[in-house]
C-alpha cells in the first residue's frame, strides 16, 4: 500500500443496512475487485475477510464492525462493514460516527424492514451523505420499479437512480450507467474481473430514468436549472459536477444496483465512492494538534487490547506520548497498524482523516479521545462521542460452578470493553449480578465468548423483581431478649413504635428514650438490630422501607446487658411490630414510553393493559405514536422481546423507575406463601 496519501485522497465509508441484505458479500466483492484478495469468500462457507470471528462464522452473521482498507483510482478507501441485527446497533452507531458517507444496502427480495429504518434514521440524524445500493438482483421474480417505489414510500424520500439493471434474476450480468449512458457488462466467470462498456439500446424505462436523473441534478444547481428549463442539453461533465454537489450537500439520494455475490455493479460502486464521496472532515483547530477518537476496542486473551482509532487532526506516530483526554491519563502509542479484517498491516503513522488501530494501550477504551495534550472546550466540540443507546433487557447472571463465581465479574468486565451496549452491575436489593443488553442474541453471543475465551460457564436467568415490604398502620411492641446459661447472661429489652411513612420517604429511626431506660451506648445497637431485620424482611423476605421506628422505652441489666442482646431484642420487636402494623408488599412501578407505527397502536394499548399498565397519554413523534404509561416492573421483564415480536421490530421503548405501589393481594399472597414454604424447608 502506498505511503504518500494525503487527507484529500482518503474516503471513509460504512456499509450499512439490515441483516441478510448482503453487506459482507458486497464488501468481499469490493476487496476482490481491487485485488486485496485473490479469491471471493462466502458467508455460508465462513471464509470472508470481514466476518472472521468464531461466533460470526458459526452463526453466518456479522456481529462486530470490521474495518478494511483498499486502493482504487489513486484513492485509499476505508470500508467499515457493519452488523445488520438490532441487537448490535452499538456497532452500527460506532461505524457511522467515524465516516463521511455511507452505502446503504437494501436487498431486492426483502425491501425495507425495521432495522433498515433504524439505520436510515441514524444516518440522517448524523447527516451522512448516503448512496443506496439495491443488492441481490440475481434473485428471481424481482420487480425493480416496485422495490424502488417501496423504498421511497417507506423512508419518505425521493431517490435519484444512477444505474439501472439491464436484467435481473439468475442471468444478471449487466446494468446501465445513466450518467455515461453506457451498458456495463460483467464477466460471469469469477476469475475474470473485466468489465465491458457498450452503447445503450433504445428503451423506454432507461429514457425515463435518464430524464428523472437530469431533472433531479438540475434542481440542485441554479445554472443547470436555467439551462434545463431553456431546453439546452446538459453534458456529462455538468451532470457529474451537479451530482457531486447534490450528494455531498445531501440534496440528492443516488441509487445504484447490482448483485454482490456475482460482482455486478461493483465497479460502478467503486467509481462512485472514489469520485463522489467527500474526503474526511477534520477537526477545526489552528495548531494541528494530533488527536483521534477511539471508536472500538477489541480485547482477546493472548492478543492484548487493540483500539480502533479515527484520526481527526495531525498525525499519530508510533512511540508518541499521547494524552487520554477522556480519562486524563498519559499513554505511549506502541505499534500502529491498518486493518484488513483480522489482518494487520503495520505502519509508523496514521495521518489526519485516516483510521487504523493502536495496539496494547493499557487505559484507553472505546469513546476515548487521545491527543498530544489537553484540549480546550472549543476543540472538544469537534469530538462528539458515540451516543450509544440505553439497554432494554436485564438478566441475572449465575455461574454454573460455585468455584468460578469470582471469575464472572472479570469476564464480564473484559466483554464490556468490546461492546458498549452491554452493562453489568450488582443489585443489592435482589443480591444478583445483573447484565443488561439490547436483546437475547447479543447476550447469547456474550455467554459464548465468555466460555470460549475465559473458560467460565455462566447462565442467564430472569432477574428478580426488587419487591419491598412496608406497613400501612401503627404498632407498639416490646422486644425482650433474656438468656442465662451459667456465668454471665444476656439481657436486652426495648419498646418500639412502628409507623407507616409517606411512600418513597424511606426509613427513619427516632430515639425517644428518657430517664436512662436504655443507656445511650446501647441505642446504636437497637438501631443495628432494626436495620438488620428490615433487610431480611418479615412477611415475604423482601427489605422493609417507608417506615419510622421509634425506640421509646426499655430496660437493661447492669451486668448481663450487651450490644448483642439489644440488637437481638430490637430485631425481635421489629418483626413483631411489622406483623401487627398491617404489613404489605410493594412493587416498583416503571415509566414506560413506547414508540410504534399507527398500525400497531391498538395491539400495544391492549398489551399494556394486560400487564396491569396505566396509559397516561399519547404524543405524535414523527411517523410514530409515543405511548406513555406506567407499568409494574414485574410485568415488563421481557418487554424488549415481546415488543419486537408484536411490532416486527418497529416498536421501540424506554423505561425508567417511577415509584413503588402496593402489590395486589393475590400476587402478594403467592410471594408470602413461597417465602413461608422456603423457611420451613
Q: How confident is the model at residue 225 (pLDDT cuts 50, 70, 90)?
A: confident
- The pLDDT, as a whole number, for residue 384 is 85
Q: How confident is the model at residue 272 (pLDDT cuts 50, 70, 90)?
A: very high
Q: How many residues does the chain have?
A: 681
d(CA 551, CA 517): 10
Instruction: Name the phi and psi angles at 492, rounded to 5.
Output: -150, 135
SS3 681: coil
More confident residue, 109 or 2: 109
From the options 3.40.470.10, 3.20.20.70, 3.40.720.10, 3.30.230.10, give the CATH code of 469-581.
3.30.230.10
pLDDT tens per residue, range 554-577: 999 988 999 999 999 999 999 999
Instruction: Indicate whether 669 pLDDT > 70.
Output: yes
Q: What is the mean predicted confidence (pLDDT) over 58-79?
A: 96
pLDDT tens per residue, range 88-144: 999 999 999 999 999 999 999 999 999 999 999 999 999 999 999 999 999 999 999
Q: How confident is the model at residue 681 (pLDDT cuts 50, 70, 90)?
A: low
Question: Could you check whether 393-462 and 586-666 share the same CATH topology?
Answer: yes
* Alpha helices by DSSP H, 183-235: 204-218, 222-229
Q: How confident is the model at residue 680 (pLDDT cuts 50, 70, 90)?
A: low
pLDDT tens per residue, range 340-367: 999 999 999 999 999 999 998 989 999 9
Q: What is the DSSP letter of 139?
A: S
Q: What is the DSSP letter of 47?
A: -
pLDDT tens per residue, range 226-269: 888 888 888 999 999 999 999 999 999 999 999 999 999 999 99
Q: What is the CA radius of gyration of the chain?
A: 32
Determine the topology of domain 7-276 in CATH: Rossmann fold (3.40.50)
Distances (CA, A) of 637 to 198, 454, 588, 674, 675: 60, 29, 12, 20, 21
Instruction: Indicate whether 389 pLDDT > 70.
Output: yes
The class that CATH gives domain 291-380 is mainly beta
- The pLDDT, as a whole number, for residue 195 is 85
Q: What is the mean predicted confidence (pLDDT) over 275-287?
A: 82
- The pLDDT, as a whole number, for residue 228 is 80
pLDDT tens per residue, range 189-215: 655 677 888 998 888 889 999 999 999
Instruction: Indicate whether 652 pLDDT > 60.
Output: yes
- The pLDDT, as a whole number, for residue 232 is 87
Q: How confident is the model at residue 654 (pLDDT cuts 50, 70, 90)?
A: very high
Distances (CA, A) of 17 to 23, 47, 107, 199: 7, 21, 9, 33
- The pLDDT, as a whole number, for residue 286 is 54
CATH 3.40.640.10 fits 586-666, yes or no: no
- The pLDDT, as a whole number, for residue 189 is 66
Q: How confident is the model at residue 406 (pLDDT cuts 50, 70, 90)?
A: confident
Instruction: Indicate whether 492 pLDDT > 90.
Output: yes
d(CA 488, CA 492): 13
Instruction: Indicate whether 486 pLDDT > 70.
Output: no
- The pLDDT, as a whole number, for residue 491 is 95
The class that CATH gives domain 393-462 is alpha beta
d(CA 605, CA 610): 9
Instruction: Indicate whether 622 pLDDT > 90.
Output: no
pLDDT tens per residue, range 503-548: 999 999 999 999 889 999 999 999 999 999 999 999 999 999 999 9
Pick the closest to residue 265 from 341, 191, 200, 168 (CA basis): 168
pLDDT tens per residue, range 364-381: 999 999 999 888 777 777
The domain ranges of the chain are 7-276, 291-380, 393-462, 469-581, 586-666
C-alpha cell at 378: 472549543
- The pLDDT, as a whole number, for residue 282 is 84
- The pLDDT, as a whole number, for residue 407 is 86
How many C-beta atoms lie closer than 10 Å to residue 664's C-beta?
12
SS3 221: coil
How many C-beta atoms lie closer than 10 Å to residue 410's C-beta?
12
Q: How confident is the model at residue 301 (pLDDT cuts 50, 70, 90)?
A: low
Amino acid at each position: 500500500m502506498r505511503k504518500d496519501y494525503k487527507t484529500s485522497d482518503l474516503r471513509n465509508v460504512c456499509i450499512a443496512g439490515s441483516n441478510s441484505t448482503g453487506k459482507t458479500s458486497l464488501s468481499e466483492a469490493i476487496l476482490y475487485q481491487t485485488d486485496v484478495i485473490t479469491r471471493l469468500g462466502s458467508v455460508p462457507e465462513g471464509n470472508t475477510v470481514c466476518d472472521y470471528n468464531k461466533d460470526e462464522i458459526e452463526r453466518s452473521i456479522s456481529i462486530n464492525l470490521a474495518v478494511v482498507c483498499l486502493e482504487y483510482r489513486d484513492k485509499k478507501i476505508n470500508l467499515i462493514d457493519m452488523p445488520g441485527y438490532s441487537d448490535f446497533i452499538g456497532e452500527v452507531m460506532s461505524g457511522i460516527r467515524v465516516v463521511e458517507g455511507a452505502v446503504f444496502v437494501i436487498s431486492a427480495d426483502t425491501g425495507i424492514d425495521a432495522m433498515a429504518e433504524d439505520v436510515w434514521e441514524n444516518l440522517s440524524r448524523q447527516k451522512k451523505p448516503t448512496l443506496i445500493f439495491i443488492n441481490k438482483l440475481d434473485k428471481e421474480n424481482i420487480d425493480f420499479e416496485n422495490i424502488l417505489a417501496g423504498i421511497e414510500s417507506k423512508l419518505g424520500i425521493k431517490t435519484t437512480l444512477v444505474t439501472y439493471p439491464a436484467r435481473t434474476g439468475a442471468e444478471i450480468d449487466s446494468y446501465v450507467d445513466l450518467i455515461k449512458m453506457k451498458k456495463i457488462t460483467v464477466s460471469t466467470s469469477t476469475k475474470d474481473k473485466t468489465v465491458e462498456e457498450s452503447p445503450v439500446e433504445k428503451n423506454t424505462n432507461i429514457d425515463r430514468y435518464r430524464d428523472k436523473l437530469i431533472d433531479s441534478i438540475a434542481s440542485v444547481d441554479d445554472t443547470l436549472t436555467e439551462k434545463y428549463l431553456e431546453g439546452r442539453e446538459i453534458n456529462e461533465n455538468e451532470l457529474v459536477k451537479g451530482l457531486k454537489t447534490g450528494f455531498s450537500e445531501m440534496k440528492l439520494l443516488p441509487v445504484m444496483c447490482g448483485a454482490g455475490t456475482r460482482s455486478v455493479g461493483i465497479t460502478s460502486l467503486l467509481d462512485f465512492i472514489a469520485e463522489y464521496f467527500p474526503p474526511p472532515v477534520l477537526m477545526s483547530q489552528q495548531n494541528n494538534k494530533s488527536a483521534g477518537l477511539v471508536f472500538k476496542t477489541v480485547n482477546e486473551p493472548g492478543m492484548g487490547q487493540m483500539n480502533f482509532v479515527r484520526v481527526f487532526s495531525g498525525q499519530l506516530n508510533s512511540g508518541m506520548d499521547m494524552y487520554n483526554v477522556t480519562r486524563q491519563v498519559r499513554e505511549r502509542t506502541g505499534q500502529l497498524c491498518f486493518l484488513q479484517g483480522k489482518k494487520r498491516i503495520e505502519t509508523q503513522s496514521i495521518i489526519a482523516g485516516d483510521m487504523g488501530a493502536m495496539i496494547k494501550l493499557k487505559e484507553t477504551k472505546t469513546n476515548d479521545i487521545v491527543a498530544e495534550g489537553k484540549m480546550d472546550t472549543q476543540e472538544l466540540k469537534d469530538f462528539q462521542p458515540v451516543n450509544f443507546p440505553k439497554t432494554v433487557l436485564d438478566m441475572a447472571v449465575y455461574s454454573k460452578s460455585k468455584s468460578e463465581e469470582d471469575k464472572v465479574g472479570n469476564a464480564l468486565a473484559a466483554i464490556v470493553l468490546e461492546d458498549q451496549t452491554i452493562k453489568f452491575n450488582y443489585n443489592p436489593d435482589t443480591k444478583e449480578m445483573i447484565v443488561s443488553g439490547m436483546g437475547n442474541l447479543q447476550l447469547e453471543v456474550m455467554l459464548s465468548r465468555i466460555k470460549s475465551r475465559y473458560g467460565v460457564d455462566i447462565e442467564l436467568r430472569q432477574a428478580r423483581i426488587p419487591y419491598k415490604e412496608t406497613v400501612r398502620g401503627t404498632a407498639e411492641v416490646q422486644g425482650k431478649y433474656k438468656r442465662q446459661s451459667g456465668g454471665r447472661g444476656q439481657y436486652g429489652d426495648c419498646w418500639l413504635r412502628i409507623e407507616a411513612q409517606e411512600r418513597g420517604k424511606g426509613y427513619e429511626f427516632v430515639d425517644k428514650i428518657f430517664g436512662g431506660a436504655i443507656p445511650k451506648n446501647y441505642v446504636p445497637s437497637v438501631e443495628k438490630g432494626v436495620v438488620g431485620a428490615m433487610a431480611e424482611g418479615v412477611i415475604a423476605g423482601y427489605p422493609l422501607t417507608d417506615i419510622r421506628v421509634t425506640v421509646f422505652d426499655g430496660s437493661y441489666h447492669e451486668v448481663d446487658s450487651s450490644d448483642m442482646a439489644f440488637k437481638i431484642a430490637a430485631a425481635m420487636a421489629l418483626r413483631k411490630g411489622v406483623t401487627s402494623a398491617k404489613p404489605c408488599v410493594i412493587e416498583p412501578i416503571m415509566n414506560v414510553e413506547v414508540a410504534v407505527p399507527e398500525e400497531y397502536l391498538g395491539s400495544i394499548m391492549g398489551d399494556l393493559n394486560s400487564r396491569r399498565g396505566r396509559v397516561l397519554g399519547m404524543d405524535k413523534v414523527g411517523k410514530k405514536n409515543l405511548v406513555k404509561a406506567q407499568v409494574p416492573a414485574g410485568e415488563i421483564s421481557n418487554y424488549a422481546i415481546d415488543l419486537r415480536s408484536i411490532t416486527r421490530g418497529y416498536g421501540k421503548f424506554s423505561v425508567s423507575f417511577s415509584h413503588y405501589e402496593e402489590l395486589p393481594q393475590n400476587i402478594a399472597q403467592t410471594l408470602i406463601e413461597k417465602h413461608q414454604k422456603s423457611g420451613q424447608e
